[in-house]
Structure 1
Amino acid sequence: MYKLILFDVDGVFLSEERCFDAAALSVWELLYAPSNLGLTSDHFETKVDEEKIQEIRMTIFQNDSILSYMKTRGVNANWDMIYLSISAQILLLLRRINRHDPHFVQTFLSQPIVEESLSQLRAQLNKHKITHVDFAETTTVFANTKAKTPSEMFRDLNQQVKSWFSISGTLFGRKTPLWMLGYHTFQSWYLGDDLYRETEAREAKIPGKRGFLADEVPIISSADISQLLTRLEQNGIVAGIGTGRSRLETETPFKQLDIWDCFDENRIVTASDVIQAEHTFPEHAPLAKPNPYSYVRAFLGQSTSISDCLEQSLPLENGEEILIVGDSVADYLAAREMGSRFAATLTGLTGKDARTTFENLGADYILDDVSQLAQALGLPETS
């Protein structure tokens, strides 16, 4: 019998669709907004209807094949998906410019990519009449080395700089200025102007966004979620959370669904906690999944210091008393590093098509959705 079950949120309790929509809109903004790269083959605006949102996502993520490519390599954070996508497109654009002005490319890649860099690149795109990108080429940037992990995908960006332009270095990586620009772009789309201002203490670079937080859709009904969590509690099992969402993005919909109080608050760990840990101990970054930090912290409890969580030896001695429930390869990898059991839900990006992936990985349980968990564990119903 498990003593602790730690749940991911997206693809388990809440649909990932709006997060992926916001990620696509973020890449779109970085490419087409006049204050960013300003490509002219599409008209950028912040007031987009549902049909346009789905058209943008279908184009940028190639019917979600690019998202699937990243997810199967353990990329879990939307911010990383955005960064990898825009970085790949920037390299592909620079490769085209290199035919005309190699000096510009050498100069561009010799310093951090900041907002002013995008203005300089925009001028070159206009000069050489480059108006389009081919999103089908996004994954080709990573194809030569067959990257299998998020870290390898970040490494491949720098390897392509060396391969294509003969420049060595570590220009691309997490928490760089370009990564942070993608982060803030996503947050502004997902939260909307008001919540973005409240949480980030700054105005959105491009305002006029309504946000998606109020549009969250549960994968199973809130009543079924509550029933499951109550059944766990009645069987002496503590429920916690380890999610790539921020605290606000987790707490708001869960309180709206009236399920927030079903979890042990000491064992709720969000991206906000991960960011704090990375800021406090940057030498340990990245700590986002598939790094198990969020689940380790949920296991030890919020009352445990960050340093103690980071120093926790793995796999855990009692790891098999912990079950991780998630929809992604990143969750699986984190669970296995902890020495914990893993239950996969087939309600993520690729739905039931993910069954083969999780069968090949050796997931302990594979569920059509999280409502099947109690039955899969053989938990008796109690009054």
Structure 2
Amino acid sequence: MGKTILFDVDGVLLSEHRYFDASALTVWELIHSENYLGLQSDRFHTNVTESEVGELRAEVFQDDEVLYLIKSKGINANWDMVYLTFSFQLIRLLSKLSEANESYVKKVLQEKTLNRETLQEIGGELYKAGIEPDYKTFVPVMKEAEAMRVELLTHLNHIAYEMTGIETMAFTRNSQLWELGRETFQEWYVGEGLTEKSIGRPAYQKGKEGFVHIETPLATMEELDELFTKLKEEGYTLGIGTGRPALETVEPLEKLGILSYFDRNRMATASDVLEAEHRYGDKAPLAKPNPFTYMFAWLERSSIEEALEYTFTEEEKDSVVIVGDSLADGLAAQSLGCHFVAVLTGLSGQKARQEFEQNNQHNIIDNIKDLYEAL
């Protein structure tokens, strides 16, 4: 049986910091732009400088403590990070509003659909009440949550009840609010020029340049060429299992000159996850740590249904290696029963070593260039 290596992209091949920048800008826009809540709307603009991006990310994600916490809970997809962070802020704002207008907040949480129009309406009520956002509140509350992985998304309903005393099921993975966050994130990441190609409609908010054209590889091109050439000569088939959509996976790898090393039939992306969730909504969410992405890649993207149901034989488990930088990647590998190599070039850097070891993942390398010796 052939040997297959499936690579995550962010934090393994390419720096993930631009994705985190776009995530922070998305939450910032949803809170401050008049297209959404519109709080302190004079703060919002799209022509952000590099220094502004750094300052906004430090504010929204509290010097990345929010990101560290979310990743430690097994959440890896940036769209889910946006949803969790913004939804929590929305719940906190509604809890403050309920002190003055409980009947309205109850209507929002139990009757209304959380979409663009509802957010604008809520923003108007918050403005009249003089309520402002507070990014410092996420970590103290969410670190107490026992929920892990996908359960954290619906745990928001419990937090809403604790903060407002109002029972709700408004916060779900299959919601207009989650989709709104996804589309707004895509606008920031790919930029206005590629938005329609990315999400099927023109950018709602004009003027975003995007980050997709300024990717940073985590090893030199010479080091990557040497690694991939060796692996191919050893008989390995190389694939991808990433939380990026297809556009943001193919274009940067092609621009860097390394796309040709990968079997295009074994490149599964967030675009495949979205399609699978659309067709099999009862199985959602399917993003990592759910192993669907990696299984779909291994099966050469042949069948969504088969990827949802297939179980590796013992021989197959031994023939597959997943290379990732996050707990979510490791959990996916554990679910499949295959090999896992952890790379310490993700958000937490060397600090991630302890987290991997605590989860019984001991094959750890400092950089992707060291992979050959770890196999």
Instruction: Normalising by structure 1, report the TM-score.
Output: 0.94
Separation in structure 2 between the aligned mates of residue 315 and residue 163 of structure 1, nearest angstrom: 45
Aligned equivalent of 2:113: 112
Residue deviations 1:153-185 (CA, integer Å, cap 9, x gap): 112211122333333342101131111110011
Aligned equivalent of 1:128: 129
More moved, 35-44 vs 99-108: 35-44
Separation in structure 2 between the aligned mates of residue 152 and residue 142 of structure 1, nearest angstrom: 13
Shift, 1:329, TM fit: 0.3
Separation in structure 2 between the aligned mates of residue 307 and residue 210 of structure 1, nearest angstrom: 37
Separation in structure 2 between the aligned mates of residue 44 and residue 101 of structure 1, nearest angstrom: 27
Q: Tell me the SS of whatever aligns to 2:46.
A: coil
Conserved in 1, the CA contact under 8 Å of 2:325 and 2:343?
Answer: yes
Pairwise CA RMSD? 1.6
Aligned equivalent of 2:293: 294
Q: How do 1:173-322 residues align onto structure 2 when only pairs under 5 Å count?
A: 173-302=172-301, 304-313=302-311, 317-322=315-320
Q: Which runs of 5+ in 1 are unaligned?
A: 378-383
Does 1:159 find its partner at 2:158? yes
Aligned equivalent of 1:75: 75
Conserved in 2, the CA contact under 8 Å of 1:269 and 1:298?
Answer: yes
Identity %: 42
Q: Which runs of 5+ in 2 are unaligned?
A: none
Separation in structure 1 between the aligned mates of residue 198 and residue 16 of structure 2, nearest angstrom: 21
Residue deviations 1:107-159 (CA, integer Å, cap 9, x gap): 111122111211221111111112x3221101344344322x22221122111
Q: Tell me the SS of whatever aligns to 1:256.
A: helix
Conserved in 2, the CA contact under 8 Å of 1:292 and 1:337?
Answer: yes
Aligned equivalent of 1:47: 47
Aligned equivalent of 1:93: 93
Shift, 1:44, TM fit: 0.3
Which one-letter code corresponds to 2:366 in the other structure? D
Aligned equivalent of 1:381: none
Residue deviations 1:85-105 (CA, integer Å, cap 9, x gap): 010001100111111111111
Shift, 1:4, TM fit: 1.0
Separation in structure 2 between the aligned mates of residue 136 and residue 222 of structure 1, nearest angstrom: 40
Aligned equivalent of 1:36: 36
Distance 1:339 1:368, change over 3 A: same
Shift, 1:315, TM fit: 7.0
Separation in structure 2 between the aligned mates of residue 299 and residue 183 of structure 1, nearest angstrom: 26
Aligned equivalent of 1:145: 145
Q: Tell me the SS of whatever aligns to 1:213.
A: coil
Which one-letter code corresponds to 2:128 in the other structure? K
Separation in structure 2 between the aligned mates of residue 2 and residue 340 of structure 1, nearest angstrom: 14
Which one-letter code corresponds to 1:81 in the other structure? M
Separation in structure 2 between the aligned mates of residue 278 and residue 115 of structure 1, nearest angstrom: 22
Conserved in 2, the CA contact under 8 Å of 1:6 and 1:324?
Answer: yes
Which one-letter code corresponds to 1:46 in the other structure? T
Instruction: Normalising by structure 2, report the TM-score.
Output: 0.96
Separation in structure 1 between the aligned mates of residue 56 and residue 313 of structure 2, nearest angstrom: 42
Conserved in 1, the CA contact under 8 Å of 2:33 and 2:41?
Answer: no
Distance 1:317 1:366, change over 3 A: same
Q: Tell me the SS of whatever aligns to 1:209.
A: coil
Q: Tell me the SS of whatever aligns to 2:184.
A: helix
Misfit runs of 4+, over 6 Å: none
Distance 1:163 1:314, change over 3 A: farther
Separation in structure 2 between the aligned mates of residue 106 and residue 182 of structure 1, nearest angstrom: 23
Conserved in 2, the CA contact under 8 Å of 1:5 and 1:237?
Answer: yes
Residue deviations 1:182-235 (CA, integer Å, cap 9, x gap): 001100000111100223231222111011010100010122112111101111
Does 1:357 find its partner at 2:355? yes
Which one-letter code corresponds to 2:307 in the other structure? C
More moved, 279-288 vs 20-29: 279-288
Shift, 1:265, TM fit: 1.4
Shift, 1:330, TM fit: 0.4
Q: Tell me the SS of whatever aligns to 2:346.
A: coil
Separation in structure 1 between the aligned mates of residue 84 and residue 130 of structure 2, nearest angstrom: 25
Conserved in 2, the CA contact under 8 Å of 1:93 and 1:133?
Answer: yes
Aligned equivalent of 1:168: 167
